[in-house]
């Protein structure tokens, strides 16, 4: 319980930082929801990085690397390191400028103003809100996994998830955007430092970096873990679409509006790829070398469960398969390595550092609260009728409700953190990326094109969820045909999720979204927006 006690102490520190750095009064909506648009350069950079570096980037990445190898780094960190900074330069700065000039606090406000649409904006809000919940779910799962692992089960998963949910809900509730940003900055700094420490200590315990890799290469199947061999080219290509989601996430859009100066984006764009390297590299490396940590009993049990699935998967009962998959899951592998190779005092500190990374759901929770109060409560007259104080209280109530919903779902999902994020949150928001691009850069786009793109995204994500709910995942390396047309396999169910023509759903979803935006906009009248509105967004109105 010593590592767990250290983490509890860390949670109290985080709660203190979030509450004492609160911004705005009880009636200052802009101060509460966007930190008065006054975040400094260091806090802006670290909080933006921390917002993206969640349980997905730490526990999910190491778990995926444990099963698939070094290719995990190529899947996410390579494309993201290029696309996200470029997107911040092109799109983030534009959001900042429009937010300043027009008082926007959410992307939906921008969409409503750009296309002069009211209820269509509400539809966009609903879809965005639903798609953001999976991201919050993986943070609850990460917190529960961390506390359960470091305490050797003394703190059960459900209790660990509940504790983390309450802490996050507490400082978001009281601190608003400013408190959340300071917590994210602190947590990102902590993991950047102790991530490197964890790699060094664990690698030394396994005989050094070269010794760990040589041992892995010599093992049966070990070479495949050091290549892209376990991932098909189409699957690998699919991940180049995933970073588009980071630019379309409403919490990222809202964060872009919090910077005090436009110049804050310069350092962020330059340093963001470096921060990604420092966070993803330790996570992936530890996940890969965990395959040789057979002297750690918990990891040996995972390897045995994986071998059983590979050898006898088709002959096992579905319940037994599910049990073995849960046992073989690598979401907690980085914590098991710390437990096996670090001294107790260091394991406790490293456990707190991992917890720092998995608690980044705060930004998503606050974003949903901001969207609800601005895009629903204020838009439909609540703020004008009841005032800013009630608006903030409404946002706080929404924070409690959305956290409870995410916690309830997290307790009942069998999927891994990595797969939940890529199949739902990332795929859905990548599919909404054309919506943002059209609003900011295409004067010919219409509200009906925006509606078509939004409805398509909702339908596609729902279809993926239905497939994965009703068709059990097959053993690794096998596929179940879901849809076949004229002898051509279109949709398949694999252990990682659902594939369309061998691609992750994010690829056809995003491409069809872009096509719908163009085609429907061309076919529908462009009576709205007015020339005055267009003049706000574009240099000329001709």
Query: Please, what is the angle between helix 119-150 and helix 344-358, to 10°?
Result: 170
pLDDT number for residue 23: 64
Tens-digit pLDDT profile for the chain (542 aa)? Answer: 677 788 888 888 888 888 888 765 566 778 888 888 888 888 888 888 877 766 667 777 888 888 888 888 888 777 888 899 999 999 999 999 999 988 899 999 999 999 988 889 999 999 998 888 877 777 777 778 778 877 777 888 888 888 888 888 888 888 888 888 888 888 888 877 877 788 888 888 887 778 778 878 877 777 878 887 778 888 889 989 988 988 898 988 988 998 888 888 988 899 988 888 888 888 888 888 888 888 888 889 988 888 888 787 677 777 787 788 778 887 788 888 888 888 877 777 777 777 776 666 677 888 888 899 999 998 888 888 888 788 888 888 888 888 888 888 777 765 555 556 566 778 899 999 999 999 999 988 999 999 999 999 999 999 988 888 888 777 777 788 988 898 889 999 887 778 899 898 999 999 999 999 999 999 987 666 677 777 788 865 33
Residue 307 in any domain: the answer is yes
pLDDT number for residue 166: 86
Residue 185 in any domain: the answer is yes
CA distance 70 to 225: 6
CATH number of the domain to which 315 belongs: 1.20.1730.10
CA distance 288 to 74: 13
Residue 251 in any domain: the answer is yes
Residue 20 in any domain: the answer is yes
Q: Where are the alpha helices (H) located in 206-332, listed in sequence order?
A: 209-218, 233-238, 244-248, 250-256, 264-289, 297-312, 318-328
Residue 542 in any domain: the answer is no
Phi/psi at 503 (5° precision): -105, 155
pLDDT number for residue 423: 67
pLDDT number for residue 408: 84
Q: Which two tokens stand for residue 275?
A: 């921060």
pLDDT number for residue 60: 77
Other C-beta atoms lying within 10 Å of the C-beta of residue 494? 17
pLDDT number for residue 541: 39
Domain, as residue range, for 12: 2-25+32-410+418-537
Cite the beta strand spans of 425-502 per DSSP E: 480-485, 488-494, 497-500
CA nearest 280: which of 56, 483, 96, 466? 56
Q: Write the DSSP assignment of 298-356 as a string of letters.
A: HHHHHHHHHHHHHHHGGGS-HHHHHHHHHHH--TTHHHHHHHHHS-HHHHHHHHHHHHH
CA nearest 272: which of 89, 106, 64, 72? 89
Cβ proximity of 514 and 442 under 8 Å: no
Residue 476 in any domain: the answer is yes
Residue for token pair 């490396």: 285
CA distance 85 to 274: 11
* CB burial string 72-104: b at 16+ within 10 A, e below: bbebbbbbbbebbbebbeebbbbbbebbeeeeb
Q: Give Cα separations from 121 to 113, 223, 448, 513, 522 (angstroms).
A: 9, 51, 11, 17, 20
For residue 538, what is the DSSP state?
A: S
Phi/psi at 485 (5° precision): -125, 120
Domain total for the chain? 1
Residue for token pair 């910077």: 259
Phi/psi at 437 (5° precision): -65, -45
Return the CA Rg of the chain: 23
In three-state secondary structure terms, 165 is helix
Q: Which two tokens stand for residue 66?
A: 């444990």
Which residues lie closer than 8 Å to 457 by C-beta, 6 or more apart? 127, 131, 428, 431, 432, 509, 513
Residue 120 in any domain: the answer is yes
């Amino acid at each position: 319980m010593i590592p767990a006690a250290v983490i509890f102490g860390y949670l109290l520190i985080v709660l203190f930082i979030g509450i004492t750095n609160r911004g705005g009064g009880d009636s200052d909506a802009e101060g509460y929801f966007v930190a008065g648009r006054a975040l400094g350069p260091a806090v802006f950079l670290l909080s933006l990085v921390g917002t993206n570096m969640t349980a997905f980037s730490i526990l999910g990445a190491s778990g995926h690397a444990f099963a698939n190898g070094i290719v995990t780094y190529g899947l996410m960190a390579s494309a993201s390191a290029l696309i996200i900074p470029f997107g911040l330069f092109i799109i983030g700065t534009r959001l900042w400028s429009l937010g300043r000039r027009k008082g926007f606090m959410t992307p939906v406000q921008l969409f409503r103003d750009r296309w002069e649409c009211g209820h269509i904006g509400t539809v966009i809000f609903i879809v965005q809100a639903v798609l953001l919940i999976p991201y919050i779910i993986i943070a609850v799962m990460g917190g529960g996994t961390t506390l359960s692992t470091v305490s050797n089960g003394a703190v059960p998963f459900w209790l660990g998830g509940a504790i983390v949910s309450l802490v996050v809900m507490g400082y978001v509730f009281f601190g608003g955007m400013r408190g959340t940003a300071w917590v994210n900055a602190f947590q990102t700094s902590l993991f950047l430092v102790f991530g490197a420490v964890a790699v060094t200590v664990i690698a030394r315990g396994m005989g050094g970096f070269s010794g760990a890799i040589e041992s892995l290469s010599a093992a049966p199947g070990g070479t495949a873990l050091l290549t892209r061999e376990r991932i098909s080219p189409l699957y690998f290509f699919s991940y180049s679409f995933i970073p588009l989601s980071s630019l379309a996430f409403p919490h990222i859009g809202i964060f872009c509006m919090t910077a005090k100066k436009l110049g804050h984006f310069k350092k962020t764009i330059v340093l963001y790829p470096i921060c990604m390297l420092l966070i993803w590299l330790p996570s992936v490396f530890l996940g890969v070398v965990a395959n040789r940590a057979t002297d750690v009993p918990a990891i040996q049990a995972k390897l045995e469960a994986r071998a059983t699935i590979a050898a006898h998967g088709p002959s096992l009962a579905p319940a037994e398969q599910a049990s073995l998959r849960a046992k073989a899951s690598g979401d907690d592998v980085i914590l098991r390595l710390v437990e096996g190779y670090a001294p107790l005092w260091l394991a406790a500190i490293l456990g707190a550092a991992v917890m720092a990374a998995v608690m980044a759901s705060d930004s998503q929770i606050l974003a949903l609260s901001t969207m609800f109060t601005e895009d629903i409560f204020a838009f439909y007259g609540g703020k004008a009728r009841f005032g800013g104080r009630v608006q903030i209280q409404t946002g706080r109530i929404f924070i409690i409700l959305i956290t409870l919903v995410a916690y309830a779902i997290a307790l009942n999902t069998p999927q891994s953190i990595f797969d939940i994020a890529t199949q739902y949150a990332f795929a859905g928001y990548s599919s909404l990326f054309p919506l943002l691009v059209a609003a900011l850069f295409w004067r010919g786009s219409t509200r009906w094109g925006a509606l078509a793109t939004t409805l398509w995204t909702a339908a596609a994500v729902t279809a993926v969820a239905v497939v994965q709910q009703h068709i059990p995942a097959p053993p690794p390396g096998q596929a179940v045909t879901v849809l076949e047309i004229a002898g051509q396999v279109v949709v398949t169910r694999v252990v990682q999720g659902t594939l369309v023509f061998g691609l992750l759903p994010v690829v056809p979803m995003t491409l069809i979204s872009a096509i719908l935006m163009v085609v429907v906009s061309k076919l529908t009248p462009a009576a709205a927006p007015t020339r005055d509105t267009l003049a706000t967004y574009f240099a000329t109105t001709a």
